[in-house]
Structure 1
Amino acid sequence: MSDSHNSPLTSQEKLVMDIRAVIADAEDILKATADQTGEKIANLRTRVQDRLLGARIRLDAAEAAIVDKTKAAARAADDYVHDSPWQAVGIGVGVGFLLGLLLGRR
């Protein structure tokens, strides 16, 4: 999905994973009921398949948007560091100092 390098999942990434699981479960139900007959079942199966296809398409688009936003944020951070290296170093030192203070008090 993304190059997270062991970072925790964002709520959007978790949502995408949950929706993928629901879609997979619904597809399993469709496969398990494939031998069921009757007009009502056939209509229901067709509607569910259509909705699953639509959900997959929207989910793929949402996932692509998440990846694009993540890449854009990484590019912006990279550009900032390249454009203002001393400010970036100062921010890093400040954040490190604050984290040291907070962790030192424990």
Structure 2
Amino acid sequence: MPTKTKSEIASTTEGELERLVGDLRELLASKELDDIPAIKQVRQRLEDGVQSVRDATVRAAQDTAQRAMDAARAADSYAHDEPWRVASAALAVGALVGFLLARR
């Protein structure tokens, strides 16, 4: 039996979790269960949890975008402050890539 990679395990786990959440949503969306106070509480906690995860995801995406913009600004500033160093580094990388491709 072949060993699963980490990405395969993560994918399988993610799929199982999605199915479980889908099943829970179907169960909690059942109108027959609206008369049970405990089900209303569970439904509310689940909805609050989903909203919390969505908010955290949005914040993480915004933070990542801000970091990327900050890095781009820093790179742009460095390129303007040190144009010869940037040109030299680009020349060195280009020469290295050219040398490696020529060896093929």
- Give the TM-score band, short-chain normalised: 0.5 to 0.7
* Identity percentage of aligned residues: 32
Q: 2:30 is matched with which residue?
A: 35
Distance 1:28 1:94 in 2: 57
Q: 1:78 is matched with which residue?
A: 76
**RMSD across aligned positions (CA):** 2.8
- State the aligned residue count: 84
Larger RCO, structures 1/2 (Cα 8 Å, 6+ apart): 1
Higher helix share: 2
The alignment partner of 2:30 has SS state of coil
Unpaired runs of 5+ residues, structure 1, are 1-18
1:28 CA drift (Å): 9.2
TM-score (norm 1): 0.64
What is the CA deviation profile of residues 18-68 of structure 1, one whole-angstrom value per residue up to 9, with x for unaligned ones?
Answer: x9xx88x957963x4422414443332211101011111111111111001
Rg larger in structure = 2
Distance 1:66 1:94 in 2: 30
Give the residue type in structure 2 aligned to 1:55: V
Residue 36 (structure 2) pairs with residue 47 (structure 1): no
